[in-house]
Amino acid sequence: MPRHAAEPAEKVQRYAGELGSGYLTADGDVLFCEACKMTVNADKRYYVGQHVQSVGHVRRHQLAQISSEEGGLASDLSPRENSFSMDLCRMMVESNIKLYKNQQQSFRTFMQKQCQADPPNHTTLRKTYLKKLYEGTVYKLRSSIGDNRICISIDETADVKGQFVVNTVIGVLNPETPSIPFLLNSDTVGRTHQTTVAQAFTNALNLLWPDRVHHERVLLFVTD
């Protein structure tokens, strides 16, 4: 029997389910991207795939995920903790500002004048909020990987103190979406050789998958 073309609404619903990643919604024969706040041409699957793989969509998708995860961090705060201190700690860490800098008088004066808030002591940021940010970041990395296969690159360097550091970088291998590599772990070692590199590899996988290491998902490993 001859095939019948799918109805527009049925086709749009299918595209939203198969390509949407939770951000494409179907309203009749209209396909809407929640991340980009725009309608998407759904005449052909190719057009939808182009939008999903575009740099703009990928970036907005990632920002939406980050905002959602940051909201989750705020909801995990105890009654004695507050979102201002969490946001301040995040801003300083992501801007590569040492936490003790918030004790500078000019910093405190600015925060009190412009934000009407008294910044907490840097030891409070370090002991109370930094760990939550770290755990939230690791959770975000796990979520971005999901069940995808990954590639791992390990490289050795030396820090400002002359200590040897082994950095482990991970990327997602997904044919449908571009991958942004990220630093998963840094190990300080006495010497850099095959044993310390192998240990860094193991440490990174245990950090990524604490319940069960999925060696079968590592398709590519690069080191020098």
84 and 130 fall within a common domain: yes
pTM over cut 0.85: no
How far apart CA 180 and CA 75 sit, in angstroms, is 28
Please give the residue range of the domain that contains residue 203.
Answer: 147-223
What is the pLDDT at residue 1?
44
In a domain, 3, yes or no: no
From first to last of its 224 residues, what are the pLDDT tens digits of the chain?
A: 445 456 778 888 888 888 766 778 888 888 888 878 888 888 888 888 888 888 888 877 776 666 555 555 544 666 677 888 888 999 999 899 999 999 999 999 998 998 888 888 999 999 989 988 888 888 888 888 888 899 999 998 888 888 899 999 999 998 877 778 889 999 998 888 888 889 999 999 999 999 899 999 999 999 87
Is 98 a member of any domain?
yes
The rounded distance, in Å, linking the Cα atoms of 134 and 100 is: 18
Let me know whether 153 and 137 are in one domain.
Answer: no
Final residue before a domain boundary, out of 142, 169, 200: 142
| Within a domain: 2 | no
Q: Examine the domain organization and report whether 124 and 166 are in the same domain.
A: no
Sheet holding 38-40, edge to edge: 24-27, 30-33, 38-40
Same domain assignment for residues 38 and 66: no
Question: Do both 138 and 153 map to the same domain?
Answer: no
Same domain, 151 and 217: yes
Burial class (CB in 10 A: 0-12, 13-18, 19+), 91: exposed
The domain total for the chain is 3
Q: Return the pLDDT at 100.
A: 93
